[in-house]
Amino acid sequence: MTIYIACDHLGVEIKKELLTYLKNKNIDIREIGIENSELDDYPVFAFKLGELVRDNKDSLGILICGNGVGMSIAANKVKGIRCVRATSVEDAFKGKNHNGANVLAIGANLGIDLAKEIVDTFIETDPASIERYLKRINSIINYENGEYNEL
C-alpha cells in the first residue's frame, strides 16, 4: 500500500516528523511533489493528493493544515475521495471503518504524539465491511456518480 502525504505551510514540521516516523515503520510513503512556501494554499495540495489516491486504488492519503478543516473540505471535492478530518483516534477509526475514508486530514495544532496515534489508527484500521456501512458508502458513491435515486 502506498500512502501519499501533503501539507500546506502550517503543516510542514508535522509532515517532516510523520515522514520519518512512517518510513521507519517501512511504510511506502510519498510526498506529492508540490513544494511548500509561506503563501501556499491548501486546496492545491488537497486536490493533487486526492487525484493520486483516486487513481491508485490501493493507496491512502494524509493531509495536514492548520486544523484539518480546509484540507478535508477541498479533498472531498475530488471525485472518489472520502476524507475524514480527525481530531481523535476514534475519528480516524470510524472515518475509515464506518465511512470508507481513504484520506485523513489532521491539524498541525494536534501535536506530533497525537498525530502519530491518529495516523497509525487510520492506516491500521480495516476498511468498512459491515453491510449497513457498505450500503451508506455506496449511497455516497452513487450520488457522486449521479446514480442516486432514493430522494
Residue numbers annotated as active site = 65, 98
- The dihedral of CA 145, 146, 147, 151: what is its sign? positive
- Cα-based distances in Å from 125 to 57, 97, 138: 17, 7, 19
Pairing state between β 28-31 and 2-7: parallel
Strand partners, 92: none
Rounded distance, CA 130 to CA 82, Å? 17
Q: Which three cell numbers stand for residue 118?
A: 491518529
Instruction: For residue 105, give the nearest of 140, 65, 47 by alpha carbon.
Output: 65
SS3 per residue for 21-32: HHHHCCCEEEEC
